[in-house]
Amino acid sequence: MKTAVLITLSAIFVCCCSSVDDGKPDDTRFVVLGPSLVELMYVSGLGDRIVGVDRYSDWPEQTGSLPQVGGYIDPSLEKIVSLNPTSIHISGTSAVLRELAVTLGIPCYSYRFDTLEDVFNSLDSLDVRYGADAAYFRRELSEKLDSLKAVMENVAPISAMIVVYHEKGSSSMTVAGESTFFADLLGSVNCEISAPGTGCWPMISAEGVIDLSPDHIICLYPGRTDTVDITESEDSFFADIGFEPDRVHCIFEPYIMIPGGRIGRTAERICYCLL
């Protein structure tokens, strides 16, 4: 059944897609899935090529006017085909989207965003394929991290625990591990992540936090508006296990978990907490 659907979609695509003189589709119509990737494309000057995005991408504001094509697990193949894409770009991997791309005869490019190196590699890939401002943004990000490193030289070395999920009243929490872009951002400014030795996003107990004894604890609540309640709750929780309020911080910016075009701002916010 899926093969029949793909063949039908392919026929529709062939009828609708415009081509250049050599008969190959001009790669100027991107369908892009993944907020980090969408952001990087916009800051790289490729936003005008994007004709469809996933339902989770909402920055910059121009994405609000673009058609949505579903998510990683449930992409709308019909919607993607109707947009006449000349390439599909995804964060991570998707067998369904790769099969669709093969059926349509267009490329499907995959990108990773687990680490800071992945972010730089994604920018390099965009630069090789399309040029635009990808290399410029790469240099800009590197320079920003270098400037933050210089600022942090007066206070480093510092260890920080990045809490990415902590339910109110719970004695356990999920933290960023050593193989994440958060660890890399801290390392780039001569600080270090405080986390268990294994796992990208390990769960840790209150006792585990005490054993690791980080210099600072940074709790991430992207997009939450009840900032006072959350801050008071986290201050109280960590005070009970021996951490003074000036060592506990909450960040509420919506981009804080997205290693995309605003990752430099994320680095700045983290450093601000540590100063």
Q: How far apart are CA 136 and CA 159, in angstroms?
A: 31
Say if residues 34 and 91 touch (Cβ distance below 8 Å).
yes
Domains of the chain, first to last: 2-131 (3.40.50.1980), 148-274 (3.40.50.1980)
Given CA atoms 6, 7, 8, 12 in this order, what sign does their dihedral have?
Answer: positive
Give me the phi and psi of 224, to 5 degrees please: -75, 145
- According to DSSP H, which parts of the chain are helical? 2-16, 35-43, 77-82, 95-104, 116-130, 134-152, 181-188, 206-212, 227-240, 263-274
Among residues 206, 264, 275, 261, the alpha carbon closest in space to that of 237 is found at 206
pLDDT at 155: 85
At 26, is the pLDDT very low, low, confident or very high (cuts 50, 70, 90)? Answer: confident
- pLDDT of 23 reads 33
Whether residue 263 contacts residue 118, with contact meaning beta carbons closer than 8 Å, is answered with no
pTM, 2 dp: 0.89
Mean pLDDT within 185-205? 95
**pLDDT value at 42 more than 60:** yes
Eight-state DSSP code of residue 23: S
Among candidates 82, 46, 84, which has minimal Cα distance to 62?
46
What confidence score (pLDDT) does residue 12 get?
43
Indicate if the pLDDT at residue 173 is higher than 60: yes
Rounded to an integer, the average pLDDT of 48-75 is 96
pLDDT band (50, 70, 90) for residue 271: very high
Higher pLDDT, 4 or 91: 91
- Per-residue tokens: 258: 């997205």
Share of the chain above pLDDT 70, in %: 91
